[in-house]
Amino acid sequence: MIRFDNVSKYYPTRFGPKYVFRDINLVIPDDRDVAIVGANGAGKSTLMRLLGGIDFPSSGKIKTDRFISWPLALSSGLQGSLTGRENVRFICRIHGMEADRDTEEYVKEFSELGDNFELPVGGYSSGMKSKYSFAVSMGFDFDTYLMDEIMSVGDAGFRKKCESAISNKRENANIILVSHNTDLLRRQCNAAILLAYGRADFYESVDQAIFRYQNL
Amino acid sequence: MRARSAFSIQRDVIFAIFIREMVTRFSSYTLGNIWLVLEPLLMMTLFMLLFGARGRGAYGFVEAPVFIFSAFLTFRLLWTYTMRQTASARNGAKGLLEYRQVRLFDVFMTRTIIEGCLFFVVGFILAMGLVWLGYDPWPTDFLLTLWYCVILWLFAASFGMLACLVGSFAREIEKMVSMLTMPMMFISAVFFPMSAVPKHFWPYLTWNPLMHGMELIREAWFGNYSSPVADFDYFMGWMLVCFAFSLATYRLTWRRILSR
Domains of chain A: which residue ranges? 2-74+81-214
* Nearest-angstrom CA–CA distance, A151 and A163: 9
Helix (H, G, I), strand (E, B) or coil at A206: helix
Q: In this predicted model, what pLDDT tens digit does every residue of B99-124 receive, in sequence order?
A: 888 999 999 999 999 999 989 988 89
Q: Is A139 on the interface with B (CB under 8 A)?
A: no
Whats the size of chain A, residue-wise?
216
Q: Is A38 on the interface with B (CB under 8 A)?
A: no
CB-hemisphere CA count at 13 Å for B168?
23
pLDDT tier at B223, thresholds 50, 70, 90: confident
- Determine what percent of chain A is predicted with pLDDT higher than 90: 24
pLDDT at B50 exceeding the cut of 80: no
Q: Which residues contact A79 (CB under 8 A, 6 or more apart)?
A: A86, A87, A90, A121, B20, B24, B95
Report chain A's mean pLDDT, rounded to a whole number.
87
Partner residue opposite A81 with nearest CB, options B4, B24, B98? B24
Chain A residues with beta carbon closer than 8 angstroms to that of B9: 96
Q: What is the pLDDT of residue A126?
A: 81
Chain B residues with beta carbon closer than 8 angstroms to that of A54: 97-100, 258
Q: Which of residues 174-213 of A touch B (CB under 8 A)?
A: none
Q: In this predicted model, what pLDDT tens digit does every residue of B52-83 receive, in sequence order?
A: 666 555 566 777 788 888 888 899 889 999 99
Q: In this predicted model, what pLDDT tens digit does every residue of B177-220 receive, in sequence order?
A: 888 888 888 888 887 888 888 888 888 888 999 999 999 999 99
Answer yes or no: do B1 and A140 touch at CB < 8 A: yes
pTM: 0.89
* Nearest-angstrom CA–CA distance, A162 and A135: 8
Q: How many CB contacts within 8 angstroms connect chain A with chain B?
A: 65
Q: Which residues contact A1 (CB under 8 A, 6 or more apart)?
A: A27, A28, A29, A30, A64, A65, A66
- A159 close to A130: Cβ distance less than 8 angstroms: no
β-strand pairing of A34-38 with A174-178: parallel
Q: Which of residues 5-24 of A touch B (CB under 8 A)?
A: 11
pLDDT tier at A72, thresholds 50, 70, 90: confident
Q: In this predicted model, what pLDDT tens digit does every residue of A35-46 receive, in sequence order?
A: 999 988 888 888
- Determine what percent of chain B is predicted with pLDDT higher than 70: 95
Q: What is the pLDDT of residue B249?
A: 95
β-strand pairing of A2-13 with A59-64: antiparallel
* Nearest-angstrom CA–CA distance, B33 and B117: 14
ipTM beyond 0.90?
A: no
Chain B residues with beta carbon closer than 8 angstroms to that of A56: 255, 258
Task: State the nearest Cα–Cα gap between A98 and chain B, in angstroms.
Answer: 10
Q: Is A86 on the interface with B (CB under 8 A)?
A: yes
Which one has a higher pLDDT value, A100 or A200?
A200
pLDDT at A179 exceeding the cut of 90: no
Q: What is the pLDDT of residue B98?
A: 85
Answer yes or no: do B15 and A93 touch at CB < 8 A: yes
Chosen from A68, A93, A146, A148 to mutate, greatest number of chain B CBs within 10 A: A93
Taking CA atoms, what residue in A is nearest to B92? A79
> DSSP strand E in A104-165: where?
144-148
Chosen from B9, B24, B26, B100 to mutate, greatest number of chain A CBs within 10 A: B100
Partner residue opposite B12 with nearest CB, options A53, A79, A93? A93
Q: Which residues contact A8 (CB under 8 A, 6 or more apart)?
A: A19, A21, A22, A23, A24, A57, A58, A59, A60
- What is A2-74+81-214's CATH number? 3.40.50.300
Q: In this predicted model, what pLDDT tens digit does every residue of B140-187 receive, in sequence order?
A: 999 999 999 999 999 999 999 999 999 988 888 888 888 888 888 888
pLDDT at B259 exceeding the cut of 80: no
Domain ranges of chain B: 6-258
Per residue, the 3-state secondary structure of B48-67, as one string, reads: HHHHHHHCCCCCCCCCHHHH
* Nearest-angstrom CA–CA distance, A100 and A90: 10
Least confident of A13-22, A108-117, B47-56, B233-242: B47-56
Task: State the nearest Cα–Cα gap between A211 and chain B, in angstroms.
Answer: 32
